Amino acid sequence: MKKRIFISVMILMIFIASSGLKITANELILESISVINEEQDIPYFDNVVLITWDGTNSEWFKRLIDNGTLVNSQRVLENGYQQLVRVTSHITSTDPGLATLETGYGPEIQGIFSNQFGAGSEKLSISDGLSTFERLEDNFGTEIQTSMFFSWATNSFNGTYINQDPDMWDSIYGNIERGKEVDYWFASENLTWVPGDTETLSAILNPFAESINMYRTPLLKAEYLGNKAAAWVTNHTNERFYLRMHLTEPDQAGHGFGVTQTEWSDAITPEYMQSLVDCDLAVGSVYDVLESAGVLDKTLFIIGSDHGMYYRGHDASSWPADNWVKSETTFVFSNTSVQNPLGSNVPINQKDIAPTIVAAMGVDLSSLSPAYVGDDDTGIPIWELSDNQSPTINSISYQRNDEDYQLLSDGSRIGKLFNLSMSVLEWCTVYDATLEIDGIVFDANSTSSKSVRWYNVDTSSLSGGSKTLLFTLTDAFGNTATLEVNNVKTAPISMWISITGLLVLGSIIYIRKRNK
């Protein structure tokens, strides 16, 4: 790709020189990248903003956007879309999630299998050269300004007046050289943490403990980081930029107070709601600057999370092994051009975020190693996402007359009117699911990655007797699974009772005749 850019630039320079137009080399390169991306049908953006909220419950994030509570996230969504994102390559903890978001690789490649902060942590770093920061530096150098705003420490810090383990700093970004491979970096280590320091007091998430003259934690609040990020990007709206920010509030509130009032409640706690509102305000601080500068159309704005949150916790195995609330997150993308052609009903992988960003900013993915191929360890740009796995049908149950569901198997007697529930495993959330009986096709009423439902299946127009039920699932990529259940009795139950009664009566008469 670099050779093609060079050739394109040379041709343009010759043309411009002969025409007398004045244009900078940087503008030439950007135009060349844009043209090449259009030729390859790759979305292109001058700038990207990626803001993640630690431990965000997918369902409540969506609900609070939809009802207008998260007004700034709603602004980002206005011309974009919501996207279900799954964690598949690692446990649902913060550092493995962040490392995957920064690189597009699972832990077998990027090296982070567990959290690297706190007592006993190994203090490992993301493998050198794999982060989005480093990819952009390698490809564009000073042509792009890059920044990180992080809500706790990413290096050792002054812990003299912090009432917490001094090892509570995160080492995963250790191989990213500040000032060279990333232009600007702001985290807890940037503050003095001296009692009474005005800047530190304005930044802290947890109140200063006057009784012991110490800070409770080295955590920074979303409002403060949002303002810092807004100030930084204000100075770079005339340049290309990549702005990265990670906010901790939802994770803190989730662990401390719970997402919901009780484990099975559908009522969000005030603390968790406020944590999402705080993060939304930080989003608004950055969004306002981009809107005022008139660069929103050149910027891909992404909001997401490192992992989900269920009640008061999130540690789980990756999808689909454990609680899906922990391994599923919702992202918001400001532009539909990066969307998979099959739509948002096709979930994407957490590993897909980084290759999507670097490709959309003009990096030739074919020049990168390890290659992004969308396997167990690597992501792929969202618009290239595919799937060759057929749906899995685990079991089918039927219900009649409001009774409990029973397992459907060969020989089951289900009557003329019934409901069906099919347990499945399928990557897509929406797909075609049909039931065929004697040439009559019944479409499913609902589908999800876990289940398919048919309600009030009415076979009264069919003749009685034994039937074959043919179930067919076809996902968005055309992968198909079928299952036949044979010798199923669909006559009304009362008819079977009558037939049974006649058989019993016939047997009695026959026995009596024999006895004579």
Is a pLDDT exceeding 60 seen at residue 297?
A: yes
For residue 447, what pLDDT is reported?
A: 97
Closest CA to 178 of 166, 168, 190, 193: 190
Place of tokens 């055309």: 478
Given pLDDT bands bounded at 50, 70 and 90, which one contains residue 93?
very high
Q: What's phi and psi for 389, nearest 5 deg?
A: -95, 130
**In this predicted model, what pLDDT tens digit does every residue of 189-223 receive, in sequence order?**
999 999 999 999 999 999 999 999 999 999 999 99
**In this predicted model, what pLDDT tens digit does every residue of 468-501 receive, in sequence order?**
999 999 999 999 999 999 999 987 645 444 444 4
Is a pLDDT exceeding 70 seen at residue 293?
A: yes
For residue 120, what pLDDT is reported?
A: 86
Return the percentage of the chain with pLDDT > 90, whole number. Answer: 81
Place of tokens 């602004």: 75
Return the percentage of the chain with pLDDT > 70, whole number. Answer: 87
For residue 495, what pLDDT is reported?
A: 46
Range 124-140 average pLDDT: 98
The string of DSSP letters for 169-221 reads: S--TTTTS-BTTTBSEEESGGGS---TT-HHHHHHBSSPPBTTTTBBS---B-
Quote the CA–CA distance of 247 and 285 in Å, as a whole number. Answer: 14
Say if CB 344 and CB 427 are below 8 A apart: no
Closest CA to 335 of 44, 68, 38: 44
Given pLDDT bands bounded at 50, 70 and 90, which one contains residue 19?
low
Q: What's phi and psi for 277, nearest 5 deg?
A: -65, -40
Amino acid identity at 443: D
The β-bridge partners of 186 are: 149
Helices 25-39 & 2-19 angle (0-180, nearest 10): 120
Q: What one-character DSSP code corresponds to residue 305?
A: -
Pair of tokens at residue 408: 């459907």
Other beta carbons within 10 angstroms of residue 121's beta carbon come to: 17
**In this predicted model, what pLDDT tens digit does every residue of 5-18 receive, in sequence order?**
444 444 444 454 45
The contacts of residue 344 (CB under 8 Å, 6+ apart) are 81, 82, 83, 84
**In this predicted model, what pLDDT tens digit does every residue of 301-319 receive, in sequence order?**
999 999 999 988 898 899 9
Is a pLDDT exceeding 90 seen at residue 37?
A: no
Mean pLDDT of the chain: 90
CATH of 43-384, one of 3.40.50.720, 3.55.40.20, 3.30.465.10, 3.40.720.10: 3.40.720.10
Say if CB 292 and CB 234 are below 8 A apart: no
For residue 166, what pLDDT is reported?
A: 85
Is a pLDDT exceeding 50 seen at residue 503?
A: no
Closest CA to 355 of 338, 376, 343: 338
Pair of tokens at residue 369: 């190693």
Given pLDDT bands bounded at 50, 70 and 90, which one contains residue 26?
very low
Say if CB 300 and CB 48 are below 8 A apart: yes
Is a pLDDT exceeding 60 seen at residue 516?
A: no
For residue 507, what pLDDT is reported?
A: 47
Quote the CA–CA distance of 45 and 37 in Å, as a whole number. Answer: 10
The string of DSSP letters for 39-99 reads: HTT----SEEEEEEETT--HHHHHHHHHTTSSHHHHHHHTTSEEEEEE--SS-S-HHHHHH
Is a pLDDT exceeding 60 seen at residue 370?
A: yes
Listed in order, the ranges of the chain carrying CATH 2.60.40.10 are 392-497
For residue 25, what pLDDT is reported?
A: 45
Range 210-239 average pLDDT: 98
For residue 217, what pLDDT is reported?
A: 95
For residue 85, what pLDDT is reported?
A: 97
Pair of tokens at residue 330: 């919702």
Is the domain 392-497 a CATH 2.60.40.10 member?
yes
Listed in order, the ranges of the chain carrying CATH 3.40.720.10 are 43-384
Given pLDDT bands bounded at 50, 70 and 90, which one contains residue 510?
very low
For residue 2, what pLDDT is reported?
A: 43
Provide the strand spans (E) within 405-506. Answer: 406-407, 417-425, 432-437, 440-443, 446-447, 451-458, 466-474, 480-489
Pair of tokens at residue 417: 């009117």
The β-bridge partners of 407 are: 397
Rg of the chain over Cα atoms, rounded to whole angstroms, equals 29
Range 30-58 average pLDDT: 79
**In this predicted model, what pLDDT tens digit does every residue of 145-172 receive, in sequence order?**
999 999 999 999 999 999 998 888 999 9
Closest CA to 35 of 2, 5, 3, 6: 5
Say if CB 49 and CB 286 are below 8 A apart: yes
Give the lowest-confidence range in 38-42, 121-125, 252-256, 340-344.
Answer: 38-42
Given pLDDT bands bounded at 50, 70 and 90, which one contains residue 452?
very high
Pair of tokens at residue 475: 């996902």
For residue 355, what pLDDT is reported?
A: 99
The contacts of residue 3 (CB under 8 Å, 6+ apart) are none
Strands 240-247 and 47-53, sheet pairing:
parallel
Pair of tokens at residue 383: 């618009």
The β-bridge partners of 85 are: 329, 348
For residue 344, what pLDDT is reported?
A: 86
**In this predicted model, what pLDDT tens digit does every residue of 340-359 receive, in sequence order?**
999 988 999 999 999 999 99
